[in-house]
Amino acid sequence: MATTATITPRLTHTALRIVFGDESPIAAEIGTIATLTQRELAACFRRRAMELHPDRAGALGVSTHDLERSFKQLHGAYRLLGRLVEDERLRNRVLASAANRSPERGLWTPAREQPAPGQRRAAGDSDAEPFRTGPDERSRTADAGRRYYRGRVPQGQLRFAQFLYYHQVIDWQTMIDAVTWQYRVRPKLGEIGRSYRFLDFDAVTRVLRSSPRGELFGNTAMRLGVLDRRQLSVVLGKQHQLNYPIGRYFLERGILSRPEIDHLLAQNRRHNMKARTS
User: Distance (Å, rounded) from C-alpha 142 to C-alpha 54?
Assistant: 13
**pLDDT tens for each residue of 182-241:** 878 878 888 889 998 999 989 989 998 888 877 888 899 999 999 999 999 998 888 878
Who contacts 48 (Cβ-Cβ below 8 Å, separation ≥6)?
Answer: 18, 19, 21, 74
User: b/e string for 110-147 if b means 16 or more Cβ within 10 A?
Assistant: bbeebbebeeeeeeeeebbebbbbeeebeebbeeeebe
Amino acid at site 5: A
Alpha carbons 82 and 136: distance in angstroms, whole number: 22
pLDDT for res 117: 42
The rounded radius of gyration (Å) of the Cα atoms in the chain is: 24
Contact in structure between 140 and 173 (CB atoms under 8 Å): yes
Other Cβ atoms within 10 Å of 249 Cβ, number: 21
User: 21 — alpha (psi -120 to 50), left (phi > 0) or beta?
Assistant: left
Residue ranges per domain, the chain?
2-144, 160-182+245-277, 187-242
Distance CA(278)–CA(216), nearest Å, equals 31
Please write the tens of the pLDDT for every residue from 225-265: 999 999 999 988 888 787 788 998 998 888 888 888 888 89
**According to the model, what pLDDT value does residue 54 have?**
72
* pTM exceeds 0.85 for this model: no
- C-alpha distances (whole Å) from 83 to each of 7, 64, 92, 111, 183 are 10, 29, 12, 19, 28
- Closest listed residue to residue 21, CA positions, set 160, 128, 116, 124: 116
Please state, for a pLDDT cut of 70, what percent of the chain lies above it. 78
